[in-house]
Structure 1
């Protein structure tokens, strides 16, 4: 359990109420990472804006976005985020076997999803210093070079939620609990 306040719409600072309201309307609950990020309206609003652009203006399909976000969560060892993005990935049509592979730290069998997951993890592990092999594997799977920068956005967005959740350790929401995950399990 967390020692950081888990904000609700009633307890959140005024500057955090709009994103929390939209998230509650979208998911039917305020996700735990957002509830703790509301302790810093600057963090929550930065995440909310960036994610809106990533989702609304990005070129990845919903399933590809979730593979990217789930791969980030696993690479960052974020228990809350892995569980949450497992729920979302399954809802967005990522095949269960692909979700399970990513959760194990493996690549999905689908070559396109595998290339996206591998590049995402490479960005994190190499701190952005990709080599030509990383780029070639990604573009050979049908992604454009401009999408390399869209992955940067996904990695940055995930860093906000993953790191906040890693620090505060919010409890899993009941709908997310069946997807609980621990590193190395």
Structure 2
């Protein structure tokens, strides 16, 4: 099981209480990745700030954000994050068939979701070294050049939470068990 404390509001260090409370209010429970990240002030506070800007200041729809974040989770082989973003993607209106395609390491059929997922995977896999065709495909789907930079924000947020969840070896919360994922699929 986990090798880091999974904090609650009552056990979280003072620096983590506000982020944990806000995330609990947003999701209806404290995501285990955030509860584990609460063991590090730089990590939880950096994640919380970046996530807030990504969600609040970003230009992607809720469904597009979840396509991006679920793609990141699958690409990073993070079972906890795949389960979490499956739950969130379905709640934010991503069709179940599209969620399943991403979970199976495929691309969504919806052209916009597909382009976003493909660019996200390329950014992670190629460590930011995109070729012109990858960027052109993203732009052809109706996105703009500035949104390439916004995808980088989503990748950064996922790197923090996906790696923390993997390192902490987190169990799935009750809310996530129905969406368990096997990376070998």
**TM-score, with structure 2 as normaliser:** 0.99
Question: How do 1:57-96 and structure 2 match up within 5 A?
Answer: 57-96=57-96
2:154 matched to 1:162? Answer: no
In structure 1, C-alpha distance between the alignment counterparts of 2:169 and 2:103, rounded to whole Å: 18
Which is further off, 75-84 or 3-12?
3-12
Deviation at 1:182, TM superposition (A): 1.4
In structure 1, C-alpha distance between the alignment counterparts of 2:81 and 2:46, rounded to whole Å: 18
In structure 2, C-alpha distance between the alignment counterparts of 1:98 and 1:90, rounded to whole Å: 10
2:137 matched to 1:131? Answer: no
2:2 matched to 1:2? Answer: yes
Deviation at 1:104, TM superposition (A): 0.4
Question: How do 1:1-185 and structure 2 match up within 5 A?
Answer: 1-185=1-185
Secondary structure of 1:171's partner?
coil
Moved over 4 A (4+): none
Cα deviation 1:54-94 (Å, max 9, x = unaligned): 01000000000000000000000000000000000000000
In structure 2, C-alpha distance between the alignment counterparts of 1:11 and 1:154, rounded to whole Å: 28
Which is further off, 20-29 or 159-168?
20-29
Deviation at 1:127, TM superposition (A): 0.2
RMSD of the TM alignment (CA)? Answer: 0.6
In structure 2, C-alpha distance between the alignment counterparts of 1:136 and 1:22, rounded to whole Å: 37
In structure 1, C-alpha distance between the alignment counterparts of 2:182 and 2:145, rounded to whole Å: 33
Secondary structure of 2:174's partner?
coil
Q: Kindly tell me the number of residue pairs found equivalent between the two proteins.
A: 185
Unaligned runs of 5+ in 1: none
Cα deviation 1:90-111 (Å, max 9, x = unaligned): 0000000000000000001101
**TM-score, with structure 1 as normaliser:** 0.99
In structure 1, C-alpha distance between the alignment counterparts of 2:30 and 2:170, rounded to whole Å: 12
